[in-house]
Amino acid sequence: MDLKQTMIDTLGIKIEELTEERVVATMPVDERTRQPFGLLHGGASVALAETVASIGTYNLVDQETEGCAGLEINANHIRSKKDGIVTAIATPLHKGKTTMVWDIKIVDEEDRLICVSRCTMAVLKLR
Protein backbone atom coordinates (compact mmCIF):
# COMPACT_ATOMS: atom_id res chain seq x y z
CA MET A 1 0.00 0.00 0.00
CA ASP A 2 1.58 3.25 -1.14
CA LEU A 3 0.83 6.12 1.25
CA LYS A 4 2.76 8.76 -0.71
CA GLN A 5 0.75 11.68 -2.06
CA THR A 6 -2.25 10.86 0.16
CA MET A 7 -3.84 12.67 3.10
CA ILE A 8 -1.90 10.29 5.35
CA ASP A 9 1.38 11.57 3.91
CA THR A 10 0.22 15.20 3.88
CA LEU A 11 -0.72 15.16 7.58
CA GLY A 12 2.51 13.39 8.56
CA ILE A 13 0.75 10.28 9.87
CA LYS A 14 3.10 7.36 10.54
CA ILE A 15 1.94 3.79 11.15
CA GLU A 16 3.90 2.48 14.14
CA GLU A 17 2.21 -0.90 14.75
CA LEU A 18 -0.14 -3.09 12.74
CA THR A 19 -1.53 -6.41 14.01
CA GLU A 20 -4.89 -8.15 13.73
CA GLU A 21 -5.84 -6.75 17.16
CA ARG A 22 -4.33 -3.26 17.15
CA VAL A 23 -3.22 -0.37 14.96
CA VAL A 24 -1.04 2.43 16.34
CA ALA A 25 -0.19 5.60 14.41
CA THR A 26 1.30 8.99 15.25
CA MET A 27 0.58 12.44 13.86
CA PRO A 28 2.36 15.73 14.52
CA VAL A 29 0.49 18.73 15.84
CA ASP A 30 1.94 21.43 13.59
CA GLU A 31 0.96 23.84 10.80
CA ARG A 32 -0.55 20.94 8.81
CA THR A 33 -2.90 19.82 11.57
CA ARG A 34 -3.78 22.98 13.54
CA GLN A 35 -6.90 25.10 13.15
CA PRO A 36 -6.59 28.94 12.94
CA PHE A 37 -6.58 29.36 16.76
CA GLY A 38 -3.42 27.27 17.07
CA LEU A 39 -5.03 24.07 18.38
CA LEU A 40 -5.16 20.57 16.92
CA HIS A 41 -7.97 20.62 14.35
CA GLY A 42 -10.83 18.23 15.14
CA GLY A 43 -10.89 17.22 11.48
CA ALA A 44 -7.25 16.18 11.67
CA SER A 45 -8.06 13.99 14.67
CA VAL A 46 -10.95 12.42 12.74
CA ALA A 47 -8.69 11.87 9.72
CA LEU A 48 -6.17 10.11 11.98
CA ALA A 49 -8.94 7.99 13.53
CA GLU A 50 -10.37 6.92 10.17
CA THR A 51 -6.86 6.21 8.89
CA VAL A 52 -6.11 3.66 11.62
CA ALA A 53 -9.56 2.07 11.25
CA SER A 54 -9.11 1.85 7.47
CA ILE A 55 -5.63 0.37 7.66
CA GLY A 56 -6.74 -2.05 10.36
CA THR A 57 -9.69 -3.21 8.28
CA TYR A 58 -7.61 -3.55 5.12
CA ASN A 59 -5.14 -5.68 7.08
CA LEU A 60 -7.98 -8.10 7.97
CA VAL A 61 -9.66 -8.51 4.58
CA ASP A 62 -8.67 -10.61 1.55
CA GLN A 63 -6.69 -7.91 -0.23
CA GLU A 64 -6.97 -9.73 -3.58
CA THR A 65 -10.78 -9.49 -3.68
CA GLU A 66 -11.79 -6.95 -1.02
CA GLY A 67 -11.25 -3.34 -0.08
CA CYS A 68 -12.77 -1.07 2.52
CA ALA A 69 -14.20 2.40 3.02
CA GLY A 70 -15.44 4.41 5.95
CA LEU A 71 -19.17 4.06 6.54
CA GLU A 72 -19.60 6.15 9.72
CA ILE A 73 -17.36 7.91 12.20
CA ASN A 74 -17.92 9.94 15.35
CA ALA A 75 -15.51 11.69 17.65
CA ASN A 76 -15.50 13.38 21.01
CA HIS A 77 -12.72 15.93 21.42
CA ILE A 78 -11.74 15.75 25.09
CA ARG A 79 -8.61 17.91 25.43
CA SER A 80 -6.92 20.49 23.21
CA LYS A 81 -3.32 20.29 22.06
CA LYS A 82 -1.08 23.02 20.61
CA ASP A 83 2.04 21.13 19.53
CA GLY A 84 3.89 17.85 19.80
CA ILE A 85 2.69 14.42 18.74
CA VAL A 86 -0.59 12.58 19.15
CA THR A 87 -0.92 8.80 18.99
CA ALA A 88 -3.99 6.89 17.82
CA ILE A 89 -4.60 3.40 19.19
CA ALA A 90 -7.29 1.46 17.35
CA THR A 91 -8.80 -1.85 18.42
CA PRO A 92 -11.53 -3.78 16.60
CA LEU A 93 -14.86 -4.12 18.39
CA HIS A 94 -16.46 -6.14 15.56
CA LYS A 95 -14.78 -8.02 12.70
CA GLY A 96 -17.59 -9.00 10.34
CA LYS A 97 -17.71 -10.05 6.69
CA THR A 98 -19.39 -6.84 5.50
CA THR A 99 -18.60 -4.33 8.26
CA MET A 100 -16.00 -3.79 10.95
CA VAL A 101 -16.26 -1.44 13.93
CA TRP A 102 -13.18 0.13 15.52
CA ASP A 103 -12.62 1.91 18.83
CA ILE A 104 -9.95 4.62 18.54
CA LYS A 105 -8.32 6.55 21.36
CA ILE A 106 -6.03 9.47 20.53
CA VAL A 107 -3.61 10.39 23.32
CA ASP A 108 -0.74 12.84 23.86
CA GLU A 109 2.83 12.13 24.94
CA GLU A 110 1.71 11.83 28.58
CA ASP A 111 -1.04 9.32 27.64
CA ARG A 112 -3.76 11.93 28.30
CA LEU A 113 -6.90 11.39 26.25
CA ILE A 114 -7.25 13.96 23.45
CA CYS A 115 -10.04 12.36 21.42
CA VAL A 116 -12.13 9.20 21.43
CA SER A 117 -13.70 7.93 18.23
CA ARG A 118 -15.68 5.01 16.86
CA CYS A 119 -15.50 4.16 13.17
CA THR A 120 -17.59 1.71 11.16
CA MET A 121 -15.90 0.42 8.04
CA ALA A 122 -17.63 -1.18 5.04
CA VAL A 123 -15.89 -4.23 3.57
CA LEU A 124 -16.21 -3.97 -0.22
CA LYS A 125 -16.04 -6.74 -2.80
CA LEU A 126 -13.70 -5.66 -5.60
CA ARG A 127 -14.42 -8.52 -7.99
- Residue 13 sits at φ, ψ, to 5 deg, of -75, 135
Q: What share of the chain has pLDDT > 70, as a percent? A: 99
User: Rounded distance, CA 67 to CA 44, Å?
Assistant: 23
The CATH number of the domain holding residue 39 is 3.10.129.10
Over 90: is that where the pLDDT of 123 sits?
yes
Which of 94, 91, 90, 114 is closest to 33 using CA atoms? 114
DSSP-derived secondary structure letter, 75: E
Over 80: is that where the pLDDT of 2 sits?
no
DSSP E strands: which ranges in 10-112?
14-18, 23-29, 66-77, 84-95, 99-107
User: Rounded distance, CA 45 to CA 11, Å?
Assistant: 10
Domain assignment of residue 17, yes or no: yes
Q: How confident is the model at residue 127 (pLDDT cuts 50, 70, 90)?
A: confident
How many separate domains does the chain show? Answer: 1
User: Rounded distance, CA 87 to CA 100, Å?
Assistant: 21
Domain assignment of residue 70, yes or no: yes
Mean pLDDT for the stretch of residues 63-85: 97
Decide: 63 and 40 in contact? Cβ < 8 Å: no
Residue 117: predicted pLDDT? 98
Domain assignment of residue 1, yes or no: no
Q: Which residues are catalytic?
A: 50
**CA count, 13 A, side-chain hemisphere, 120:** 7
Higher pLDDT, 68 or 3: 68
Domain assignment of residue 55, yes or no: yes
- Structural domain range at position 53: 7-125
Decide: 126 and 68 in contact? Cβ < 8 Å: no
Domain assignment of residue 116, yes or no: yes
Domain assignment of residue 118, yes or no: yes
Over 80: is that where the pLDDT of 3 sits?
no
pLDDT tens-digit series, residues 77-118: 999 999 999 999 999 999 999 999 999 999 999 999 999 999
